[in-house]
Structures are given as structure tokens and as C-alpha cells.
Structure 1
Amino acid sequence: MRQDSAFKRAFILLLIVLLPLLVAAGIQAQTLPEDGARESGAKQAEDTVARLDAPLYSAFTERYILDELKALRVDMAAQRVEFIQQITDRQIEAVDRSVSYATNTVSNFFYIIAAVSSVLVIVGWTSIREMKEKMGTLADKELRKLIGAYEDRLREIEQQLREKSTYIDENREAIERTKEIHALWLRAAQESAPANKIAVYDQILALNPRDCEALTYKADAALESNEPQWAINLCQSALQLDASNAHAFYQLACAHAALSHFDDAINFLTKALINGDARLDDFAKDPALQPLHHLPAFEQLLLDAHQTKGEHA
């Protein structure tokens, strides 16, 4: 409707603009010969327009033309908006159709999948159940095997860690005990009274009952306390732990000399010499062996000790 109105207005406006020009051209053509009009029609029309003394259109006509032009522009703008609206509506309609098509396609696809799944469930339910049970049994078996292997490895690692922890604890306790025993030996070396030495040696033996050296030094302290029989018992205990302990034999010789058991004293001195007690180089100067100095056996033993020393030198 708007398009027809716009065309009508444009046609009327064109007639209004061209009609005066056509009239002026016709009047001029009547005054010229026919052959001249054909040759210079356009040029004469231009000259006629240029020689006009008054406006070609009246104010009313110009106003009408301007109004028509304005209305024509408004109609053209409205027509453009209408065209754009129609194009937009068509695009939206096309998009709606595409979305509807895609939605229907996806829905149909899922319907097909659901139908196929239903058929499979109805037809092969037993087979699927058996397959599921077999897969579950196999998976459970493999998992148990894997768990068992890891449990064995963890148990082995735990045992190794426990053994190492025990070994570390034992070493730590041994180190602490060794430090304590060493401190007690230093303390015993600083003590001068035999009773105090015996007390320190008892502490050492409490920490290490199989310490032969502590037993023999305790026997030495017992001899200093005038307890030769006690010293003999201590040396016998040391020899039970170490049958070739030369220091124990030497202390036995000193104890038997104190008890006037000279033969036993010479016998134990000989064993001490055989087992290589370094103190036998100076045993002639030991006051504990003073009762043996008048015995020929002691002199012979002393001579043998000097000969042995010379041979080693």
C-alpha cells in the first residue's frame, strides 16, 4: 500500500516539474522551422530556460513540490524499515526451523537408542547378567590376587622395618651402655679405696655381667681388701667366661700366695706366663708375690720369664 502511494507521488511530482518545461519547449518550437527544431531542440530549450525573467514555478507550486518530496522520503524510509522487518522475520523463521529440525533429529536419535537398548535388554538379559557375573568374579579374583601381593610386600617391608628398628634400638642401647661403662672405668681409675673400686666394678658388672676384665680387677680390689678367697671365686667366674684369661690366672696366683698355697700359686703363674700376661715381665716386683720369692720353683719361673722375654726381643 505504501509502495503504491510512493510511486503515485513520484509520478505526480515528475509531471509537475516537467510540464512547464514541455510547455515552454512547445511554444518555442512553434516559432522555428521544423528542420531547425530537430537540429537544435535541446540547445534552444536550455537557452529558453536561461532567458527566463520570472520564476518558472509559483511559491505554492514550490511548497507543494517540497511537501511531496518530504512525504516521498518519509514513505521511502518507512518502506525500508518494512523491508528490514520482513528480512528479519524471515531469518528468525529460518533459525526456528533449523533449531526445530535439530531438536527433532536429536530426539529421534535418542528414541532409536532407547528402543535398541530396550530390545537388547529384553532379548539378551540373561547373557548380559552372566557376562556381568563373570566379569565381576574375574575382577574380584584379580583384585584379591593384587591385594594379596601388596599385603605380602607390605608385611615383608614391615618386618624389615621392625628388624631395623630393633637393631637400631639395640645399637643405641649398646652405645649408651658402652658410654656408661667407660665412664665407670674412668671413675674406678680415680678411686683409691678398694671398697669404692669394688662398688664401681659392681656397677660395671650390673651393666655387663660377662665382663671378664671387670671380674679380674674386682678380684684385684678384693686382694687389696685382704679377701683372697673372694678374689679366687671372682677369678674362677672370669675363667668360666674366658678359659685363657691370663690376668685371671695372675690374680689366682696372687690369691693363693696370700693363702700360702705356694704350689697352686706357681701353677697359676705358669699358666699366666703361657697365656701371655704382659705384667709377668714385672711380676718379681709385685708385693702380692713376695711370699714366693724364696721358692726355687719361683726362681726357675723367673728365669724362664727372662729367657722368654729375651727370645721375643
Structure 2
Amino acid sequence: MRRLIIAGAMLFLTLANIAGAQEAADTDSTVQQQQAENHVEQLQEPLYNPFVERYVLDELKQLRTDMANQRVEILQQIVDRHVESVDKGVTYATNTITYFFYLIAGVSSILVLVGWTSIREIKERMGTLADEEVRKLVEIYEGRLQGIEKQLTQKTQHIESNREEIERTQEIHSLWLRAAQETAPANKIAVYDHILTIKPGDCEALTYKADAVLELGEPQWAVNLCQQALAIDSDNAHAFYQLACAHTALSHYDEAIHYLQQTLSRVESYRDQLAEDAALQPLADFPAFKELLGQRAPEQ
């Protein structure tokens, strides 16, 4: 009896373990099936589509067939073009030879009518005609070349003169800058003489030289320089102004007033310098000078 009870207990435990294992297996199978279903639901495209693959294979086959046919057509066109080119070349050569013989026959007929009976005569006449035509062409082109050479010579001379003028202008400009930096009148006169050597008719250099000469106490020399400037430019206001200063230094007050009037009639801006210029101080008490300054003499 005891053995039966033990055997029944063992059978019950075995059945319990089998039932637990079956339940666990069923649970795992259910979980795997659920995961598979979720994965299938999440797919965007089918995993396998035989119709698409068949369509792609048919298209590739058709494309290869079309390419083969197109290659055959291109080869046929190339062969046709070659045959056509050869045919045209043969036709052109045949026509050229035919026309050449026709030309020879025509030229021979003309030569017979003209009276050229020998090949030597024909050669001499053709050589003469060719020499005449060549001589005419040579004369024409020689004339053209001479004209071009003349134009080039003129342009070269013009460029050279412009270059020299630019160099002379630059040198004169540097001399003017040097004169502005000099303080001694003698040095200024030397610079102005250099400018006049380069450009003899420079009125501005003559008038500024007259100003430097006045600083040295040589009014008569200044008068001569101003007269030279006026001989070149009769309306040079600065020359009239320096003449006024020179005549003031020579005590020729009437002439000084006259030249100041000539200066102001040409350039009104000199009026502001009259009262400040030390060279014109001897004229300060003259009524005519006060009138030039815009002042009136007091009534007696």
C-alpha cells in the first residue's frame, strides 16, 4: 500500500512537471507568434514578389534586344554612308577627268583661232602676262607699305615728342617744388633760370623771378623781367602786380598806381593783398591807393 502511494505521488509530480513544461512551451510559442505578427505588420513592402522580378527580367531582355537591333542599324547606316562616299568620289573623279579633257580641247581650239601655234610661244606669253600682273601687285603693295611706314614714322615721332614733353613737364614741376622750398632769393633765381632754360617763354617763371629780384633790391631788373612777361602775355595780372611793386621801390608812385589798376581790372582777388604787401606800404597815404583798397579819402 505504501508503495502504491509513493508511486502515485511520483506519477503526479511527473504529470505536473509535464504540464508546466507544456504550458511554458505554449507561452513561448505564443510570444514568438506575436512577435512574428508584429514584424509582418511593420513591413512596408512585400518580402517576395515574383511578378516584379519577372517584369524586370523581361525589360532587361527587351533592352538588350533593342540595343542589338540598334547596333545593326547603325552599322548598316555606316556601310551605306561609306558606299555613298565612294560612289561620289568615283563620280567626281570621272567628271573631273572628262571636264579636263573638254578644257584642253577648248583651249587648243582657242589657241588655234588666236594664232598661237607652239607651246613655247604660249609659255612665253603666259610668263609675260604673269610678270606684268605680279609687277602691278608689287607696285600696289609697295605703295601701301610706304603709306603704312609713313604713318608709323609719324606716330613714332608723335609718341617721342609726347614723351619728351612729359619729361620736360615733370622736370619743370620738380623745379617749381624746389623753388617753393628755397628761402634765399638768389637760390630761387637760379631755379627760375633753370626753368626758363627748359621753357624760355614761361611767363610765370619770369614774374616769380621778378619777385625774387625785388627781394634782392633790384627793382629795375624786375621791371625788365615783367616787360618780357607782358610781351609774351599782355594780360598777365601777376606781371602788372610785380611792375607796381618795382615802380614803388623806384619811387614811381603814379606808375605803381597805374599798374595796380591794371592788375585789379584783370584779377579782382589781388585787392586783398594790397594792404598786406610790404612792398606797397609807401603808397598807403595816397588817396588813389586808398580808393583801390575800397577806402575814400577824407574831405577837406
Q: TM-score, normalised by structure 1?
A: 0.55
Residue 294 of structure 1 corresponds to 285
Deviation at 1:131, TM superposition (A): 3.1
Residue 176 of structure 1 corresponds to 167
| Equivalent residues of 1:246, 1:277 under 8 A apart | no
| Whole-Å separation in 2 of the counterparts to 1:277 and 1:188 | 26
2:286 maps to 1:268: no
Deviation at 1:209, TM superposition (A): 0.9
Deviation at 1:128, TM superposition (A): 3.6
2:251 counterpart SS class: coil
| Whole-Å separation in 2 of the counterparts to 1:212 and 1:137 | 69
| Whole-Å separation in 1 of the counterparts to 2:155 and 2:271 | 46
Moved over 6 A (4+): none
Deviations 1:94-146 (A, max 9, x none): xxxxxxxxxxxxxxxxxxxxxxxxxxxxxx98644443333233222211221
Deviation at 1:277, TM superposition (A): 5.5
Residue 254 of structure 1 corresponds to 245
| Equivalent residues of 1:292, 1:298 under 8 A apart | yes
**Percent of aligned pairs sharing the same letter:** 65
2:269 maps to 1:278: yes
The one of 192, 200, 204 aligned to 1:209: 200
Deviation at 1:168, TM superposition (A): 1.2
- Report the residue type matching 2:128 in the other structure: T
| Whole-Å separation in 2 of the counterparts to 1:205 and 1:126 | 84
| Equivalent residues of 1:253, 1:264 under 8 A apart | yes
2:200 counterpart SS class: coil
2:219 maps to 1:232: no
Structure with the greater alpha carbon radius of gyration:
1
Against the structure 1 CA distance between its residues 289 and 182, is the aligned structure 2 distance closer, same or farther, given a 3 Å change threshold?
same
Q: TM-score, normalised by structure 2?
A: 0.57
| Equivalent residues of 2:172, 2:195 under 8 A apart | yes
Task: Indicate the structure whose relative CO is greater, using CA pairs within 8 Å and at least 6 residues apart.
Answer: 1
- Report the residue type matching 1:204 in the other structure: I
Unaligned runs of 5+ in 2: 1-114
Residue 311 of structure 1 corresponds to none
- Report the residue type matching 1:139 in the other structure: A
| Whole-Å separation in 2 of the counterparts to 1:304 and 1:184 | 40
Within 5 Å, give how 1:6-21 maps onto structure 2: none
| Whole-Å separation in 1 of the counterparts to 2:116 and 2:277 | 106
Within 5 Å, give how 1:74-223 maps onto structure 2: 127-223=118-214
Residues matched between the structures, number: 183
Deviation at 1:280, TM superposition (A): 2.8
| Whole-Å separation in 1 of the counterparts to 2:154 and 2:163 | 14
| Equivalent residues of 2:222, 2:246 under 8 A apart | yes
| Equivalent residues of 1:247, 1:277 under 8 A apart | no
Deviation at 1:303, TM superposition (A): 1.2
Unaligned runs of 5+ in 1: 1-123, 306-313
What CA RMSD, in Å, does the superposition of the two structures yield over aligned residues? Answer: 2.1
| Equivalent residues of 2:211, 2:242 under 8 A apart | yes
